[in-house]
Structure formats: structure tokens, C-alpha cells
Amino acid sequence: MATRGGAAALRLTDRGCIAEGMRADMAVLDADKYEELVYFYGERHVTAVIKGGKVHEQR
């Protein structure tokens, strides 16, 4: 919801949600909940990086 609202506020119609045909920059994390990340500081949680809708890094 925060992503959609931010895109709408900036009048960016090609982003704001995760869907086919939309622009996307994101990191895919290996965690059940984002709150867990602080308890495992120093470990690599990123499993993939997606920029411009394309996977650039994947482990």
C-alpha cells in the first residue's frame, strides 16, 4: 500500500505495485518477517535483486 500511495502522489503510473508490465526495483529477502532482520545482523538476507523489472543478482 505504501508503494502504491507514493507512486500515486508522484503521478507515476508505471509503478506502485508488483504486477506484470510495471516497473520494479526491489530486493527479495530470505526472512519470514522483516522484524527478524535485526536479530540476524551481518548475515546476507538478500536472495535476489530486481532492478527495472529484471533480475540482476540471484543467489
pLDDT digit string, tens, across residues 1-56: 567 888 889 998 888 888 888 887 888 888 888 888 888 878 888 899 988 778 88
pLDDT of residue 2: 61
pLDDT of residue 4: 85
Distance CA 40, CA 1 (A): 27
pTM score of the predicted model: 0.59
What residues does each domain of the chain span? 22-59
Please tell me whether residue 17 adopts helix, strand or coil conformation: coil
6 compared with 57, residue with greater pLDDT: 6
Grid cell 536472495 is found at: 47
